[in-house]
């Protein structure tokens, strides 16, 4: 099974940040990336809807592409459906993502941490359980960023700038002095792509934490454990989307330097 591809799934183009980390950590693997753009954004929809879409995409990737593992590169889908996926497909290695609160606690010096994410993520039971488990170790400023993932999908620079400023101002005062926020958790896979814009508002001294590298390490561990890790080959990426492929093509070319016009639309 080592020659079979790994499925990577997000509601849109944000999961390309996770795919990028996976390709760096697993250079011999083949990947099938599915962007559910016809049903995005997930972060502003209910759990039942997101879980239904997540299960449908997983079935498509298993039946049509015979994936050997699945990476749910979406915080909202992980929170809403990761337990259902693992129950429905017990033999399939499944890796999810979640806002990196634990790594943030480990590196913060002031003990004040901001978390920006979609509303679906921060209002989920999974996220609240994680935050509550760390409440004694840090003060968290949680900001649901309505519309930001959508602006990144559209590559709308003006709205990205406006929303980034609004949400980071809502988080509080950033800096290294006592009581100031010195660590920012990027709790949506879209946000690493606008790190430079976020940096303008948070300041150069603030540390950013995202989930790409830890997810890639976990995927490698599970593949090795299942003895399906590809040890040779040039790898490769196939792009799929449920909506028009233009945005995915443009994002993959811009952020992953993949050839343009390669995404296939899936009904």
The catalytic site residues sit at 74, 188
- 125 membership: H or E segment, kind and range: helix 125-133
Tokens 């935050």 correspond to what residue? 131
Q: What is the secondary structure of 127-170 as a DSSP string? A: HHHHHHHTTTT-EEEEEE-TTHHHHHHHT-HHHHHHHHHHHHHH
User: CA separation (Å) from 107 to 185, 188, 203?
Assistant: 11, 20, 17
- Closest by CA to 46, choosing from 118, 143, 140, is 118
d(CA 115, CA 12): 21
- Closest by CA to 163, choosing from 177, 179, 147, 178, is 147
């Amino acid at each position: 099974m080592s020659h079979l591809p790994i499925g990577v799934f997000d509601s849109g183009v944000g999961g390309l940040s996770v795919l990028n980390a996976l390709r760096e950590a697993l250079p011999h693997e083949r990947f099938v990336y599915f962007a559910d753009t016809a049903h995005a954004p997930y972060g502003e929809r209910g759990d039942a809807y997101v879980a239904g879409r997540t299960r449908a995409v997983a079935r498509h990737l298993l039946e049509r592409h015979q994936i050997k593992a699945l990476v749910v590169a979406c915080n909202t889908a992980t929170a809403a459906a990761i337990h259902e996926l693992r129950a429905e497909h017990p033999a399939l290695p499944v890796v999810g993502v979640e806002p990196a609160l634990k790594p943030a606690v480990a590196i913060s010096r002031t003990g004040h941490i901001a978390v920006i994410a979609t509303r679906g993520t921060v209002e989920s039971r999974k996220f609240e359980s994680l935050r509550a488990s760390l409440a004694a170790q840090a003060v968290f400023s949680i900001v649901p960023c309505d519309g930001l993932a959508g602006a990144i999908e559209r590559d709308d620079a003006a709205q990205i700038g406006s929303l980034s400023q609004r949400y980071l101002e809502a988080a509080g005062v950033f800096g290294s002095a006592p009581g100031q926020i010195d660590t920012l958790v990027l709790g949506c896979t879209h946000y690493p792509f606008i790190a430079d814009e976020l940096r303008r508002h948070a300041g150069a001294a603030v540390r950013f934490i995202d989930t790409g590298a830890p997810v890639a390490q976990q995927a490698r561990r599970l593949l090795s454990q299942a003895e399906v890790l590809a040890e040779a080959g040039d790898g490769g990426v196939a792009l799929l989307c449920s909506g028009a492929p233009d945005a995915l093509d443009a994002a993959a070319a811009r952020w992953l330097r993949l050839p343009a016009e390669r995404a296939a639309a899936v009904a």
